[in-house]
Amino acid sequence: MKQVVKDGWHTIMGYSVYVEDGKVLRGTLGEGNAQRTAFPFRKSKSGGWDNDAGLSVNAFKAGVKRGSIEMF
């Protein structure tokens, strides 16, 4: 059974992320005055990272777990 995540801010896999319609759109990194906006990126097959904002919560969790998704 799929777990439904409501719209809003959540801590998922250690990241503070904003979820809307079941998709991870953005998040934050840092604390206090050093806090900044961050977006989910997926490791590219050709090297580097590709912006992957809008991926599902389950895909975000799986990607972070295997190391192919990070927040930058």
pLDDT tens-digit readout, 16-65? 999 999 999 999 999 999 999 999 999 999 999 999 999 999 999 999 99
Model confidence at 4, in pLDDT bands (50, 70, 90)? Answer: confident
The edge-to-edge listing of strands for the beta sheet with 69-71 is 49-51, 40-43, 69-71
Q: Model pTM?
A: 0.92
Rounded CA separation 64/69 (Å): 5
Cα torsion 6, 12, 15, 18 to 10°: value is -10
